[in-house]
Amino acid sequence: MQGNERQTANYGGKIFLPPSALAKLAGLSIVYPLLFELRNADKQIHTHAGVLEFIAEEGRVYLPHWMMQTLLLEQGDLLEIKNANLPLGEFVKIQPQTPDFLDISDPKAVLENALRNFATLTQGDIIQINYNNKIYEILVLETKPSNDGISIVETDLEVDFAPPVGYVEPKPQPKDTMANKIKFEEPAAEPTKGFLAFQGDGQRLNGKAIKDETNSESSNVHDLGSGENIPAPLNLPFGKLFFGYKIIPLSNVNNEVHDQS
């Protein structure tokens, strides 16, 4: 638009129409806000838009660049425009076209601010928004209650995000625990079957036969297999300590001292 360049208009969903369009609409029974269906009759492609101003030259309409790409239009092509009555949007599902969108610190707030420049959303459109001098393309995957197009003017719209195109889910990293730092491993369970070491017979160095003798010390040794008086394996959870003696509460010690006196 010569003399009326507005770069921000490229990152919205509103168009510029000539004053004659406003004059004709004023004589019709139409519903506000003004919404329009834009159709490329040759390619049988359509989308929807709002209107920004009625300041275009007669016989011309100015569209955002992304909208011309959606409709497969070149400058000077013929475009059909008619008034449309779209339902208020309740839900929209979108998909960023690059993983760079996730680098935005608060994508929800950025998208909410960008959608203020839109009056409608049409399923299948790839809209463009500008943030920090970088253009992000976003595909409209789904709209409700109508899958053809919805109005997002003064409505409570629920937005759902699909994973961006090319996004790869990061692999889960092991937790940085103290056990990992010291490379702690649980003790292996004792084997119940299989090879057992030191199961052969012994021999004396002088060549004499070993007598089947028992001494007084061996009589005090209990059979390990019997399980009598053998403490259970001390398998404590990680981080718990065992000091080897029973804790006597302080109150009991005081009572014993008084009894002795």
The CATH number of the domain where 54 resides is what?
A: 2.40.40.50
116 domain-assigned = yes
Residue 219, pLDDT score: 47
For 46, the token pair is 């359509």
Residues 69 and 97 grouped into a single domain: no
- Higher-confidence position of 187 and 88: 88
Q: Which of these three, 33, 61, 84, is where a domain ends?
A: 84
Residue 122 pLDDT > 80: yes
- Assigned domain for 224 exists: no
Task: Please state the rounded mean pLDDT for residues 85-89.
Answer: 94
Task: Look at residue 95 and tell me whether its pLDDT is greater than 90.
Answer: yes
Dump pLDDT digits (tens) for 131-147.
Answer: 998 999 999 999 999 98
pLDDT at res. 195: 58
Task: Answer yes or no: is 216 within a domain.
Answer: no
pLDDT digits (tens, 9 = 90+) for 49-65: 999 999 999 999 999 99
Q: Is the pLDDT of residue 184 over 60?
A: no
The average pLDDT across 236-251 equals: 69
The total number of structural domains that make up the chain: 2
By residue range, what is the domain housing residue 51?
A: 7-84
Residue 110 lies in a domain: yes
CA pseudo-torsion sign 212, 216, 218, 219 = positive
Instruction: With respect to residue 44, please indicate whether it lies within any of the assigned structural domains.
Output: yes
127 & 80 share domain = no
Q: Let me know whether 53 and 117 are in one domain.
A: no
> What confidence category does residue 194 fall into, taking pLDDT thresholds of 50, 70 and 90?
low
Q: How far, CA to CA in Å, does 216 sit from each of 81, 204, 225?
A: 112, 21, 20
pLDDT at 218: 47
Mean pLDDT value across residues 152-160: 91
Q: Would residue 237 count as lying in a domain? A: no
Residue 214 lies in a domain: no
Measured from the Cβ of residue 196, the count of other Cβ atoms closer than 10 Å reads: 7
pLDDT over threshold 70, residue 200: no
Q: What is each CA distance from 122 to 49, 71, 103, 127, in whole angstroms?
A: 9, 12, 26, 10
**Residue 98 and residue 80 in one domain:** no
Residue 240 has a pLDDT of 74
